Amino acid sequence: MAAIENLKFDEKGLIPAIVVDADTDKVLTLAYMNKESLEISMKEGKTCFWSRSRQELWRKGETSGNYQHIVSITADCDLDALTVKVHKDGPACHKGTDSCFMDPILGEASGAEEKGFDPKTLYKLLEGRKAEMPEGSYTSYLFEKGRDKILKKVGEECTEVIIASKGNDKPETIYEIADLMYHVMVMMVEMGISVDDVMEELASRHIIDHKIKQEKMK
Is 102 part of any domain? Answer: no
Is 93 part of any domain? Answer: no
Is 20 part of any domain? Answer: yes
Task: Specify the pLDDT at position 110.
Answer: 46
30 forms bridges with which residues in the sheet?
18
What is the torsion angle, in degrees rounded to the nearest 10, for the CA atoms of residue 120, residue 122, residue 127 and residue 133? Answer: 170
Same domain, 61 and 127: no
Task: Specify the pLDDT at position 16.
Answer: 95
Same domain, 25 and 82: yes
Length of the chain: 218
Same domain, 150 and 188: yes
Same domain, 83 and 122: no
Q: Which of 88, 104, 137 is the last residue of a domain?
A: 88
Same domain, 138 and 74: no
CATH number of the structural domain spanning residue 141: 1.10.287.1080
Same domain, 83 and 127: no
Count of structural domains, the chain:
2
Same domain, 124 and 60: no
The closest alpha carbon to 60, from 34, 81, 78, 37, belongs to 37
pLDDT tens per residue across all 218 residues of the chain: 668 899 999 999 999 999 999 888 889 999 999 999 999 999 999 999 999 888 999 999 887 788 999 999 999 999 999 999 999 888 888 777 778 887 777 765 544 444 456 788 788 888 888 888 877 788 989 999 999 999 999 999 999 999 999 999 999 999 999 999 999 999 999 999 999 999 999 988 877 666 666 666 66
Residue type at 20 in one-letter notation = V
How close are the terminal C-alpha atoms of the chain, in Å? 73
**Helix, strand, or coil (residue 143):** helix
Same domain, 154 and 76: no
Q: Which of 50, 69, 88 is the last residue of a domain?
A: 88
Q: Taking the CB of residue 27, how many other CB atoms lie within 10 A of it? A: 17
Same domain, 193 and 148: yes
The closest alpha carbon to 26, from 103, 155, 116, 158, belongs to 116
Q: Which domain holds residue 163?
A: 118-217
Same domain, 37 and 126: no
Same domain, 65 and 128: no
Q: Which of 88, 107, 127 is the last residue of a domain?
A: 88
Task: Specify the pLDDT at position 112.
Answer: 41
Q: What's the pTM value of the predicted model, to 2 decimals?
A: 0.53
CATH number of the structural domain spanning residue 12: 3.10.20.810
Task: Specify the pLDDT at position 213.
Answer: 64
Could you give the CA distance from residue 4 to residue 39 in angstroms, rounded to a whole number?
8
Start-end of H helices in 30-118: 35-44, 112-115
Could you give the CA distance from residue 128 to residue 122 in angstroms, rounded to a whole number?
10
Could you give the CA distance from residue 164 to residue 207 in angstroms, rounded to a whole number?
33
Is 189 part of any domain? Answer: yes
Is 10 part of any domain? Answer: yes
Is 16 part of any domain? Answer: yes
Task: Specify the pLDDT at position 117.
Answer: 63
Same domain, 26 and 69: yes
